[in-house]
Homo-oligomer: A and B are copies of this chain.
Amino acid sequence: MLAAARAFAERGYPAVTMHDVAELSGMTKGAVYFHYANKENLALAVTAEFYTRLPAISDAVARLSLPPVASVAELLLRTAAALRDEPLMKAGARLEIERGLIDAELPVPFDEYTTLISAWLHSARATGDLAHETPPDALARVLVSAFFGAQHLSWVVNDRTDIIERTLEVLHAVVPCTRDPRHISPYLHGHTAA
């Protein structure tokens, strides 16, 4: 699975063959076919794993019990770092943009992720921590769009080296209260931002 993720992340779905995956994983081609039947199934399996990893990141953030605005910032920053560092996340993002080339039904991208951000923004509004004219649901959609665009442009321009800076730029511009020290993500203390 990790071998397939690495191959999809580096070369893209159309360029990868079942033979490549067998070779990279040290399995026989028969063993790969036994588990996945075809390349579409392999893409679905990697995508399913990607959509398990995202809630794992959200759960870890929720366990920190930060104020809701800080939770949103923390979630985007940890997702950004994972997209930069983890083959599975890189593969998930790449399969998402190559979805039109995959003969299988992939999930709607970042659907639950947007719902979670929206819930945090609703809480923040209820506690008076979010002074924004835009309703929380719309703001969550805009944040996810901006994050998706930022990580894509960062990928194209420098293989996501500057993804943390671009994510911070998005947070500060779209949710200005993330500049407030109370909402600054612990991520920035625990990790270096470049």
Contact = CB atoms under 8 A, between A and B. Distances in A.
User: Is chain A's binding surface mostly helix, strand, loop or mixed?
Assistant: helix
Interface in A1-57: 11-12, 14-15
A167 to B, nearest CB: 10
A179 B138 CA distance: 15
Interface residues of A, number: 39
A45 to B, nearest CB: 20
Contacts of A101: 12, 14-15, 98
Nearest to A167: B145
Interface stretch (A68-76, A80-88, A169-177): A169-177
Contacts of A94: 100
A193 interface: no
Given A149-B144, A149-B147, A152-B148, A108 B12 contact: no
A162 B90 CA distance: 28
Contacts of A133: 172, 176, 179
Nearest to A100: B12
Interface of A: 11-12, 14-15, 94, 97-101, 108-110, 132-134, 138-139, 141-142, 144-150, 152-153, 156-157, 166, 169-170, 172-174, 176, 179
Given A98-B98, A138-B172, 17 more contacts: A15-B101, A97-B98, A99-B156, A108-B156, A110-B153, A133-B172, A133-B179, A138-B169, A141-B166, A142-B170, A142-B173, A145-B145, A145-B147, A146-B146, A147-B149, A149-B152, A152-B152
